[in-house]
Structure 1
Amino acid sequence: MTGREVRPVGERALLVGCADLAEVLGLHAALSASPLPGQAEVLAAARTVLVRATDRPARDRLAPVLRDLPAPPVPPAAGDVVVIDTVYDGADLTAVAEHTGLSVQGVVGAHSGEEWTAAFGGFAPGFAYLVGPTTLAVPRRASPRTAVPAGSVALAGTFSAVYPRSSPGGWQLIGRTDAPMWDLDRRPPALLRPGDRVRFRPVRERVTTSGPAEAPGRHGPAGAHSGPAAPTGGAGESAAPGTGAATVTGSALTVLAAGAQSLLQDLGRAGLLDLGVSPSGAADRGSARQANRLVGNDGGAAVVETVLGGLELRATRHQVLAVSGAQVPLTILHVDEELTHPPTDAPFLLPDGHVLRLGHPSAGLRAYVAVRGGVTVPEVLGSRSTDLLSGVGPPPLAAGTVLPVGPPPGRAVGQPEPARVRVTEELAVGVVLGPRADRVTPESLERLLGQAWTVTDRSNRVGLRLDGAPLERADDAELDSEGTVAGAVQLPSDGRPVVFLADHPVTGGYPVLAVVRDADLDTLAQARPGDRLRFRDAVLPCEDAAQT
């Protein structure tokens, strides 16, 4: 075996190229069975394995080892046969027919007439990459949709898949199903596992009933069940308790107004990439840690992440709070009377029955509210974070949500600290070029680094969508889906970059030209629509110790 190509993916990950899917699965199995020193996590994709390292030195030590590490073949799994009832009326069905030279009925016949196999997971929880008939090989859309409906049956390259829930995506949509692809109340939660065989059965309309839903059998049809699947996380597992109007007696904060968007976040859930679950967690981790530090909490305690102000919280029992991140005016009220205006980035008392109101920020986008003792809603997959892409974790906060507060920690509250977010005319973040910087022309690479990009209003926790002079690809060949990381600068076919944030998909099929450095990820989280963003201090792949 000749040495594999190993490319850096930012400062703490490597993309290992393989000859084919068989080698991918063999390498993934070898690394999973016997992790290398400094290896944090691995993720299989179509032709690559993403290896996350514990830090930059570990990444550089892993690179030469991965180049020649043996990857014994993995015997095919004796997977189940799962039948998925499908209505073939997708928005891109006609376009797929035109691209393949088949009729619409020919596409339906090819897709439903052959057996598919689940090769690997990724992108989102419950999303399985299925390999099958090559007659249906089609490119991704030129520009990804911001929201693909849950249950969409789709094609991209030589793969098919079912979107487990509404999410951004660039695959071609040919149909829809009610099959619950991901359900945390089911064991295992994913309907399709690597090695499973899949058949799509054409139906005229999705079948729904009014009774309670039950998970379909592993060997039976997966499209006939009662309505849409419950939100991932499960009732009573991810929902913040006490959302009704009942009197609150324990130590708690009650949400009176949630503002534009308020979520619970901690430092995220690691180790679940193979399930399609990204780490998620606070978008600006430094500010979340700072708020916790100020009230004496552990840095990983759950906090409230809120966008553009408008959040109102009422204390049950005396509470010590701190607000960090975006610079928001704070007001403490009692019986609708304004009493005081505590500073941000410092601990303060919110007395029993009093209300904290956050105004519109003068700088930044996301503010973090920590309470001494932390918010103690139940964990989902080891974290209290809300992942908007996957739907894992507590639901977004709403008026009436009650947030239970844990017992006070053993350490004292902190002293006021300098603000981490300040007004600036232009944001600048450092990047490591690659792994696919060679997919654009040299002029476009200069344009990526030379111009100030504008953050658009289509941005969210999944990623920042940028506008500016579009970039041109040097290679228009379709790129197989690959593992990716927060801070990845991905280039869709329209030439305008998307920079992944905390809730990014774990795999993507557009080339990643660069990855924002770890120290600058928090800056991205505070970028508002209309802000100007510039990439700087680029490290070229040939200058990076991991390039082999």
Structure 2
Amino acid sequence: MRFLPVNRQALMVELADLDETLALLGSLQREPIDGVQELVPAARTVLVQFTPAQVGVAELVRRIAARDLGQRAERSNVLVEIPVHYDGEDLADVAQLLGITPEEVVRRHTGSEYAVAFTGFAPGFAYLSGGDPIFNVPRRTTPRTRVPAGSVALGGTFSAVYPQASPGGWQLIGRTSARMWDLARELPALLQPGYRVRFVDAAGMAQVDDAPAPAVAQAAPHEGNALRVKATGLMTLFQDRGRLGQAGQGVSASGAMDQAAFKAANRLVGNASDLAVLETVGGGLSLQSQGETVVAITGADAPLAVTTGSGQRWSVPRYQAVALADGDQLTVGQPVAGARCYVAVRGGFAVTPVLGSACTDTLANVGPAALAVGQVLPVRPADRKAVAAPELPPESLPTTGQDVVLDVELGPRTDWFTPEAVALLAAQRWQVTPQSNRVGLRVAGEQPLARAVAGELPSEGTPLGAIQVPPSGQPVLFLADHPLTGGYPVIGCVAPHHLDLAGQIPVGAWIRFNPIRAFEEYTPGAQGSKN
């Protein structure tokens, strides 16, 4: 085993092969270690996320290293057959690459039984192992910007089915109408870890539906006070602390980009800290009160105004509870610093959770839809009478053109880059590009980061704050809606104490990465500063 640093709350265990990975996963699931919060298995690694106050990293490494990897997972008695129409865009290329005919590709693909090794990348995306040994297919040099839902694909030694339309770099050999992800099922993912899978040739099958099953939470029936959406701004979503503990379904946590601002908004109106709020980016949101409501706005430094039904208008402060009378309209202007504002209402919004959370994951398409003009947002009755005293807003938030320093912990794949690239990560300014969103900040520097290892990295878990480097050498800083697993090396991770700051960086700002911990593998039994 290798024990690679990720951040103060996570480490990565690298193993020899998939069998060892699944053996370790099974051991940690059968006999959990106190303080371990989440396990994200992949091809040859297990990402272990933990609470340092409950278990130190040295103790965690020691206990994992002592696990017996000789016990292999038992075969599941669940067999799922997936009908496939083999007409994928890359079928001929795959056949040529393997030196066989397209017909032989189909025969071999349907002639083997697979097992769900792990899930990731997107909800319901299962990595299937155990196929014909001939299938070891590299990813496409240039990933597609959109792969249709139901696409059957090959990547490395794995087979998979894309559960929804998404970007992707695997080789497409067919398509299926089977719904891989459906929230109407008790277990939304059709393929669960350990399930056996067989592909069936379904030549002549009906046209495949390219749309995944709806993954939208509906507002609960409600009578009483509400907020009506008069304008949405660039994008406004429901967010909360996140959808925790769903890695087994291939679902990452998501949640508010600025967790401190999210909690403050709830606190100010007297709510429990984990109730759903509105997260709005770029300004432009306008809400009209139906009945009497109390709101608070936190996060980005944006001008706030209330307009009464008679046309009177005045400014209101951030980080303070604001009472709205029936007909009053609250408007959030364009931020002068920061990127995202949070709006909480006393009592909380009456929205039905999906998989235990009301947050919207824009990559996974799970959670309530983005707000629309005319939508009515019911408000639950408040169970607490008092609101909190006003709070001081953050002293400074990033602005366009400003340098923002983010502390970084190097790892887990820093050794995949040249020493010059590691130095360049910190020495160079990186500008946030317009392609940035809740999935991640895409940044551009004058010089790309060069790799020392040229081969493909098997897919592995990616934590919040990971700085992943694609072939372009221009990093992507993963934020709340990042994929659960990824296939490009992560040179470092933003320290947990700077994640909220990262969520407030606007397009056009410059990032300076500040390494606060050198890359060094953990060694079982080592003493010293590893805690």
Superposition map of 1:196-211 within 5 A? 196-203=195-202, 207=206
TM-score by structure 1 length? 0.89
Name the counterpart of 1:415: 390
Where do 5+ consecutive residues of structure 2 fail to align? 523-527
2:363 pairs, out of 367, 374, 389, with 389
Q: Which amino acid aligns with 1:284?
A: D
Query: Once the 2 structures are TM-superposed, how far is the Cα of residue 141 of structure 1 from its aligned partner?
Result: 3.3
Matched, 1:195 2:194: yes
Superposition map of 1:194-273 within 5 A? 194-203=193-202, 207=206, 228-233=211-216, 238-241=217-220, 249-273=223-247
Matched, 1:541 2:519: yes
Deviates more, 1:196-205 or 1:452-461: 196-205
Contact 1:332–1:339 under 8 Å retained in 2: yes
Name the counterpart of 2:128: 130
Name the counterpart of 1:212: none
Name the counterpart of 1:360: 334
Q: Which amino acid aligns with 1:277?
A: V
Instruction: Write the distance in 1 (CA, Å) between the matches of 2:174 and 2:310.
Output: 52
Query: Once the 2 structures are TM-superposed, how far is the Cα of residue 437 of structure 1 from its aligned partner?
Result: 0.4
Instruction: Write the distance in 2 (CA, Å) between the matches of 1:336 and 1:279.
Output: 43
Instruction: Write the distance in 2 (CA, Å) between the matches of 1:486 and 1:145.
Output: 24
Contact 1:317–1:353 under 8 Å retained in 2: yes
Contact 1:23–1:73 under 8 Å retained in 2: no
Contact 1:324–1:345 under 8 Å retained in 2: yes
Q: Which amino acid aligns with 1:511?
A: P
Query: Once the 2 structures are TM-superposed, how far is the Cα of residue 159 of structure 1 from its aligned partner?
Result: 0.7
Matched, 1:177 2:151: no
Contact 1:487–1:500 under 8 Å retained in 2: yes
Aligned residue for 2:167, secondary structure, equals: strand
Aligned residue for 1:70, secondary structure, equals: coil
1:460 pairs, out of 437, 443, 454, with 437
Instruction: Write the distance in 2 (CA, Å) between the matches of 1:448 and 1:90.
Output: 39
Contact 2:181–2:213 under 8 Å retained in 1: no
Identity of paired residues, percent?
A: 47
Query: Once the 2 structures are TM-superposed, how far is the Cα of residue 368 of structure 1 from its aligned partner?
Result: 0.7
Instruction: Write the distance in 2 (CA, Å) between the matches of 1:257 and 1:185.
Output: 31
Aligned residue for 2:123, secondary structure, equals: strand
Matched, 1:333 2:307: yes
Q: Aligned-residue CA RMSD in angstroms? A: 2.4
1:38 pairs, out of 35, 39, 42, with 35
Name the counterpart of 2:428: 451
Q: 1:297 to 1:137 in 2, by over 3 A?
A: same
Q: 1:449 to 1:19 in 2, by over 3 A?
A: same
Instruction: Write the distance in 1 (CA, Å) between the matches of 2:158 and 2:53.
Output: 33
Q: 1:35 to 1:420 in 2, by over 3 A?
A: farther
Q: Which amino acid aligns with 2:495?
A: R
Superposition map of 1:92-171 within 5 A? 92-131=90-129, 132-171=131-170
Instruction: Write the distance in 2 (CA, Å) between the matches of 1:6 and 1:312.
Output: 49
Contact 2:2–2:521 under 8 Å retained in 1: no
Contact 1:90–1:173 under 8 Å retained in 2: yes
Q: Which amino acid aligns with 1:484?
A: T
Q: Which amino acid aligns with 1:374?
A: G
Matched, 1:372 2:351: no
Q: Which amino acid aligns with 1:11?
A: R
Q: 1:190 to 1:543 in 2, by over 3 A?
A: closer
> What per-residue deviation string (whole Å, max 9, x for no partner) do you get for residues 273-296 of structure 1?
111111111011111112122222
Query: Once the 2 structures are TM-superposed, how far is the Cα of residue 240 of structure 1 from its aligned partner?
Result: 2.5
Name the counterpart of 1:29: 26
Name the counterpart of 2:290: 316
Contact 2:16–2:44 under 8 Å retained in 1: yes
Contact 1:330–1:357 under 8 Å retained in 2: yes
Query: Once the 2 structures are TM-superposed, how far is the Cα of residue 142 of structure 1 from its aligned partner?
Result: 3.8
Contact 2:179–2:190 under 8 Å retained in 1: yes
Matched, 1:488 2:487: no
Query: Once the 2 structures are TM-superposed, how far is the Cα of residue 412 of structure 1 from its aligned partner?
Result: 2.8
Where do 5+ consecutive residues of structure 1 fail to align? 209-222, 243-247
Q: 1:146 to 1:431 in 2, by over 3 A?
A: farther
Deviates more, 1:394-403 or 1:87-96: 87-96
Matched, 1:471 2:454: no
Contact 1:324–1:419 under 8 Å retained in 2: no
Q: 1:459 to 1:94 in 2, by over 3 A?
A: farther
Aligned residue for 1:9, secondary structure, equals: strand
> What per-residue deviation string (whole Å, max 9, x for no partner) do you get for residues 127-172 of structure 1?
1101112322122234544443322222211111111113333323
Matched, 1:403 2:377: yes
Instruction: Write the distance in 1 (CA, Å) between the matches of 2:229 and 2:529.
Output: 47
Deviates more, 1:414-423 or 1:379-388: 414-423
Name the counterpart of 1:524: 502
Name the counterpart of 1:6: 3
Aligned residue for 2:515, secondary structure, equals: strand
Contact 1:262–1:305 under 8 Å retained in 2: yes
Instruction: Write the distance in 1 (CA, Å) between the matches of 2:529 and 2:347.
Output: 42
